[in-house]
Structure 1
């Protein structure tokens, strides 16, 4: 692995710092924790290990910056600083890729897509949308008695935002939360996932270089997965929590926020269905391309349930068997076309392999993978895996595995496909494939999910809203709707 060869691996990513109240600094007491490479299981850097005192300082700084400065009022200044920050990120694009590869386990092909390329492209989308935001909306005058009343709705930033982000595509999600909050006039405490501190810490480093006012953006990294999040979600000085992660943690965040009536935005899990109808124009190609390999299946919006017509089920199984048997373009950190690398951690590797055993016990038939892959290296590799003869009541069809495990389920007709797709606690993404777009639209409109593509139609991008139904979340990220999550509406009535 070229990026890690030879010298002390600690120097690959170096040592990151906290960013609190305009200062890049170590954690109190100088505590750090190791940043582990998913490719090798070795230390590739160290991160500041924040204490409760550090988190308290970050919350206090964000509150002061919102209440005591004109950050929330000066739109032009905010836009200019966020644009300057974007320029600095562009100048550090190669470094961002190095961090994503080494700490998130992103293969080079995934770095150039969701991990860095799409993250920065979506940032540009937000910058393009911001000037179009409607900060005031007049309503028709209303006569009441002898007086004509003017009414104006104004949009104002909600206040202090706690942004709690995951490890799977951290830069992309950090951009969504931090950039939207900053543009709309909020102040932010960004709390990184312990496994991916570098792609959060870089926000503090470059915000400092860009000259951000003290306290407007604060960045916390900690080895404790819960401490900072518990503080942010229960502190009355924090007005909004924007969280991306598991549904179980999302439920806890809602409960924590209830006593202070925080606004809570949640982007949670998924078990999305890809429905290939019997008339799909490129049936064999679409089935083969269903292999769950991108970033080792570690994505909330991946389509991990493949629904195929029973009339073509044997054909689909044969296609998948051949496609998986021929596939070996994964697991090389230096290959620019590889989309799949290791899982994020030993714990996640063990979790995914436990689901493979569950699938076997439930009676599903394993046609590919199902094993750890030490032949790919010393890291946390799991082979691309596929189960067929799956029924939708099996745990492998109902629970989010978050690994490279595809389950294949047959359906009888369009109604049955819709029923199976909707028979899930989740509703985040999905796809429908048919030569008849009108037929596909009828199916797509009835699948209860926040985003769905027809024939690979784009349904996830920085300029359009993203979010889920049911246990997949509350609210929307990205697009104008995503930025508006960070705003309050004040109605002003003028009499006389």
Structure 2
């Protein structure tokens, strides 16, 4: 396998070899060549990690720790992340091909997620209920659920892990994380900071490997009480089926076919840049990618000229270079998937305006040109199905009513962008577009304070914001009889 860096799994505060003794190669998408070895876990490793997490949840310093103390640990973890942000950004770029300048910006911001949930940790409270029985005092509290299984994808490994990790720990749970087999290294580097921050062994555990040998037994494990999954809809179906074995609470953050709508009164320069950011940022490998651009017919030619001119100047190349604007796709299979959809787009009558092939000057790695298709309607597969790559479908529209119908003509419901000056129209359209996230005159803005999630094939449940705390806790109701009277009849419900 070559002389590569070798990563073991992290279970119960220790680096452990896989029980199988096997490792697999992780490939640098910028070169198409392997650069490290990842432990290949199996059901034995899953059981070991879940048992460790369960024991820590029920019988350890973590179980007895106050919420304020947990908040202090999360804040320290955020501080350590800030110190090591540049180092982790490089691992992320090496493993999944995202631009180093994007990852540096992202990693420098991600400590805010731990700071936010550190502040929330001791503000997870219940309430006193104004019960309709005079001799009863009733209150509720929110308690941690138990062992959380987190399944994370390859497109934004650390960011999408932290969306789960921070609220799960703030709520007092323990967690077992399975990163994508394509991008495990950055998380394994990050987990070193968990120990340095002072979290007890078993609070955070990392299992690496493949879906059938690790993901399936993890999400089926009887001691897992909560599953947080980010990935594709087909894998999500397996997760939901597996959860029938343990009746886990499940959240799914899946894909999208998000509309980016430009009205006739929009600032066209800003709208064009927003469309470009929405689909070519991260090489289109984003669940919220604005892959459908709906342009009002009165400004269609003008804004298309701006878009095509800027897209033609996007610099595709080495993601470690500071002047690169679009790096490779993360995997060879994803590159081939994009090629399949581009071929379908041509067959189904789409007009290829730009791109549509691998760059001739980049012979190594998984690169693809930023691509634009014009479509007369929203009916082609490339306009309706998630491509998860740098492919934009452009569709004209005439009226507000028409574009709302077009935008909602999808099985997804994750994100939407609206570019408009008329504030009343902005609010009208935002209300009627079916999406869990709506950006007005901006796109791809994130914050730990704001919830993320969708509906339909985009999944269910929410990550981020105060709502995420509710996803990682369960409500307990306590009844206190304040009457001094003797209970007369035990067979009558009180």
8 Å CA contact 1:18, 1:48 repeated in 2: yes
Indicate yes or no: 2:94 matched with 1:107: no
Q: 1:230 to 1:390 in 2, by over 3 A?
A: farther
Indicate yes or no: 2:198 matched with 1:211: yes
Indicate yes or no: 2:74 matched with 1:82: yes
Please give the residue correspondences for 1:30-45 in structure 2 after superposition, counting only pairs within 5 Å.
30-45=21-36
Which residue of 1 is the match for residue 128 of structure 2? 138
Indicate yes or no: 2:268 matched with 1:283: yes
Higher alpha-carbon deviation: 24-33 or 227-236? 24-33
In the aligned structure 2, how far is the partner of 1:288 from the partner of 1:483?
34
Q: 1:192 to 1:55 in 2, by over 3 A?
A: same
SS in 1 for 2:450: coil
Indicate yes or no: 2:10 matched with 1:19: yes
SS in 2 for 1:340: coil
SS in 2 for 1:227: helix
In the aligned structure 1, how far is the partner of 2:73 from the partner of 2:18?
26
In the aligned structure 2, how far is the partner of 1:297 from the partner of 1:457?
13
The Cα offsets for residues 362-396 of structure 1, whole Å up to 9 and x where unpaired, read as 10001111101241350000000010124211101
Match of 1:295 among 272, 275, 282: 282
In the aligned structure 1, how far is the partner of 2:424 from the partner of 2:367?
41
Which residue of 2 is the match for residue 4 of structure 1? none
8 Å CA contact 1:126, 1:478 repeated in 2: no
Indicate yes or no: 2:298 matched with 1:321: no
Higher alpha-carbon deviation: 201-210 or 239-248? 201-210
Higher alpha-carbon deviation: 242-251 or 160-169? 242-251
Which residue of 2 is the match for residue 5 of structure 1? none
Match of 1:240 among 226, 233, 237: 226
Between the two proteins, the alignment pairs up a number of residues equal to 479
Which residue of 2 is the match for residue 93 of structure 1? 85
The Cα offsets for residues 457-482 of structure 1, whole Å up to 9 and x where unpaired, read as 77631111110022211110011101
Which residue of 1 is the match for residue 489 of structure 2? none
8 Å CA contact 1:110, 1:339 repeated in 2: no
Which residue of 1 is the match for residue 491 of structure 2? none
SS in 2 for 1:45: strand
In the aligned structure 1, how far is the partner of 2:244 from the partner of 2:432?
32
SS in 1 for 2:256: coil
In the aligned structure 2, how far is the partner of 1:302 from the partner of 1:17?
33
The offset of 1:70, in angstroms, is 4.7
Please give the residue correspondences for 1:122-201 in structure 2 after superposition, counting only pairs within 5 Å.
122-131=113-122, 133-144=123-134, 148-201=135-188
SS in 2 for 1:477: coil
The Cα offsets for residues 433-469 of structure 1, whole Å up to 9 and x where unpaired, read as 1111111110111001000011117763111111002
TM-score by length of 2: 0.92
- For structure 1, the 5+ residue unaligned runs are 1-7
The offset of 1:135, in angstroms, is 1.7
SS in 1 for 2:10: strand
The offset of 1:99, in angstroms, is 0.4
Which residue of 1 is the match for residue 295 of structure 2? 308
In the aligned structure 1, how far is the partner of 2:324 from the partner of 2:111?
20
Which residue of 1 is the match for residue 437 of structure 2? 451
The offset of 1:17, in angstroms, is 2.0
In the aligned structure 2, how far is the partner of 1:377 from the partner of 1:295?
20
- For structure 2, the 5+ residue unaligned runs are 483-494
8 Å CA contact 2:314, 2:326 repeated in 1: no
TM-score by length of 1: 0.92
Indicate yes or no: 2:409 matched with 1:417: no
The offset of 1:63, in angstroms, is 1.2
Runs of 4+ in 1 over 4 A off after TM superposition: 8-11
In the aligned structure 2, how far is the partner of 1:220 from the partner of 1:377?
34
Indicate yes or no: 2:251 matched with 1:265: yes
SS in 1 for 2:132: strand
Q: 1:61 to 1:263 in 2, by over 3 A?
A: same
Alpha-carbon RMSD: 1.9
Match of 1:432 among 407, 411, 418: 418
Match of 2:355 among 369, 383, 396: 369
SS in 2 for 1:239: strand
Which residue of 2 is the match for residue 356 of structure 1? 342
8 Å CA contact 2:29, 2:366 repeated in 1: yes
The offset of 1:72, in angstroms, is 3.7
Which residue of 2 is the match for residue 343 of structure 1? 329
